[in-house]
Amino acid sequence: MSAEPLTPLSASTGRLPQGEEVKQNVASRQQRGKLWQASLLFSVFVGLLVLLLLAWNIVNDAFGGIAVQEAVEVEALTGGRELEELAQPELVAILEENLRSRVLRNLNREQPLAERDAENLIEVILFEIIKPEVVATFSLYDYLFNRAEIEAQLAQDFPRAELEFKSWLRWDFIVNPMSSNPIFAGVRTALLGTLWLLVLTILISFPLGLGAAIYLEEYQSDKIFDERKPVGRFFNRVIERSTSIISTNIYNLSGVPSIIYGMLGLAIFVRALEAFTSGSFFGANEGTTANGRTIISAALTMSLLVLPVVIISSQEAIKAVPSTLRQASLGLGATKWQTIWKIVLPNALPGILTGTILAISRAIGETAPLIVVGASTFIVTDPTSIFSKFTVLPIQIYNWTSRPQDEFRAIAAAAIITLLILLLSLNATAILLRNYLRSRRVS
């Protein structure tokens, strides 16, 4: 393509590439672009990889192998039979043979052995005599791919131990209460605490957040007091100023670290309002040593934490309702509140609910403020009222992760999976709810 030269602006300094040069220039630039594009894509893959590693890391710990060593082997105890095959009197006999008299006396005082059922007796036998002990824990990867090595090691260190597959996440784990032995420990108390906290936080933050959002979106410019009187004008001015402060303030609050909310909760709800939050004012003293460190304190703290996000997302949802709808309603002589209640809110509800649930599911994963507010790390009693002591899943995860033993790490991973499943189902609920409400409005 020997084209004639372009007519340059002036002959002296035409320094742009010409002719064949252009082709080379463009080709090299295109190539550079492709390289950069590849490196961008690489970054995206790094992100995906991290997510996969995170998931793998959890699964790797939550499942795997354990080496169990029993103080006394079942076979030796029963003469080769399974415990489940034995009749109740035989179980009692085993206990009476193998336990010291003091222990037996204690057990009998709780409930006479003869009166207990087989299931209970087996439990006691396991706990008191057989005492299965996890002597080593292995990750899923080691269990699957380094089997030979593990077994050699075990044979040397714990010849009597048996290697078996272990899913730390199992039904028992969900329904068992806390225990200092990781084998028996479960998340029941924490799960219940989390659910209590979830419900209470929704109950507190949803109406408050929605109210604030409605005010900010719909009533910003409306005067509460009579404009015709100077006093009314003055108060209207005050409210107007404070409203604009509220708006910016909400954004700033949404950026405050969550641990600071925890400190606020500690000073206000746990300490200053202790009479109310411990329930003693209402005569509902649990007899625990909870002080103000109760579910209600935690829920109030969490509500303050999520409030800015609930307000902002509700505002967005309200904003998305077309103003023509409002005008139509007002044009028919409806009052402002009638318009909001009958037109704006029903239309905005799907968005508001989704936003609220998403915000609160964030809060459910929060740990730091609850540490400060004083969630218990070790309790075995289920929460029964808003004035109960409590623990929650993230606190348990934190607590177990910070222990050095492998077994605790494994149950921490199992608790993480429980928490993530809970969060995912919350999010799924939010989405389903939104779709349901939307479809109902259309038909």
The interface with other proteins within residues 237-296 (CB under 8 A) comprises: 239, 242-243, 245-246, 248-253, 255-264, 266-268, 271
The only residue of 83, 208, 273, 437 in contact with other proteins, by rule CB under 8 A? 208
- 153-162 burial string, b = 16+ CB within 10 Å, else e? ebeeebeebe
Choose, by CB under 8 A, the member of 22, 93, 175, 325 that binds other proteins: 22
Task: Compute the residue count for the chain.
Answer: 443
Interface residue with other proteins, options 65, 193, 308, 355 (CB under 8 A): 308
Comparison of 69 and 354: residue with beta carbon closer to other proteins: 354
| Choice between 111 and 244, CB closer to other proteins | 244
| Residues 393, 399: Cα–Cα separation, whole Å | 10
CB of 40 to other proteins, least distance (A): 4
SS3 sequence of 245-267: HHHHHHHHHCCCCHHHHHHHHHH
Nearer to other proteins, 83 or 420 (CB): 420
What secondary structure letter does DSSP report for 130? I
| Out of 307, 317, 344, 348, the residue judged to bind other proteins by CB under 8 A | 307
CB 394 → other proteins: shortest distance, Å? Answer: 5
Q: H/E element holding 411?
A: helix 406-442
Give me the helix-helix angle, 88-98 and 118-125, nearest 10°: 30
Is residue 212 a contact residue for other proteins (CB under 8 A)?
yes
> In terms of CB distance, is 132 or 232 closer to other proteins?
232
Query: Nearer Cβ to other proteins, position 125 or 308?
Result: 308
Residue 18 DSSP code: -
User: Among residues 19, 89, 211, 331, which is the contact residue for other proteins, using CB under 8 A?
Assistant: 211
CA angle 165, 171, 175 (to 5 degrees): 135
Backbone angles phi, psi at 257, to 5 degrees: -55, 145
DSSP symbols for 161-195 = -EEEEEESSSHHHHHS---SSTTT--SHHHHHHHH
Which is closer to other proteins, CB of 120 or CB of 243? 243
Cβ closer to other proteins: 125 or 310? 310
Interface size with other proteins, residues (CB under 8 A): 108
DSSP state of 227: T
Residues of this chain, 313-342, that bind other proteins according to CB under 8 A: 335-337
19 binds other proteins (CB under 8 A): no
Q: How far is the CB of 194 from other proteins (least distance, A)?
A: 11
Binding piece for other proteins, criterion CB under 8 A, among 19-27, 85-93, 323-331, 383-391: 19-27
Smaller CB distance to other proteins: residue 130 or 173? 173
Q: Is the CB of 347 or the CB of 376 nearer to other proteins?
A: 376
Q: How far is CA 358 from CA 262, 362, 364, 434, in A?
A: 20, 6, 10, 12
Alpha-carbon span 41 to 319, nearest angstrom:
36
**Considering only residues 215, 232, 276, 380, which one is a binding residue for other proteins as defined by CB under 8 A?**
215
345 part of the interface to other proteins, by CB under 8 A: no
Q: What residues are paired with 163 via a beta bridge?
A: 67
Nearer to other proteins, 10 or 443 (CB): 10
Q: Which residue has the tokens 């084209």?
A: 3
Strand partners, 65: 138, 165
> What 3-state DSSP class applies to 179?
coil
The span from the first CA to the last CA of the chain, in angstroms, equals 65
User: According to CB under 8 A, which residues from 37 to 66 bind other proteins?
Assistant: 37, 39-44, 46-48, 50-51, 53-54, 57-58, 61
Residues facing 48 on adjacent strands? none
Interface positions, 360-419, toward other proteins (CB under 8 A): 361-362, 364-368, 371-372, 374, 377, 394, 397-398, 401-402, 409, 412-413, 416, 419
Q: Of residues 115-174, which lie at the interface with other proteins (CB under 8 A)?
A: none
Single out the residue of 90, 67, 64 nearest to residue 77, CA to CA. Answer: 90
**At its nearest, how many Å lie between other proteins and the CB of residue 111?**
35
Site string for other proteins, 172-191 (x = CB under 8 A): --------------------
Q: How many CB atoms lie within 10 A of CB 419?
A: 21
SS3 of 4, please? coil
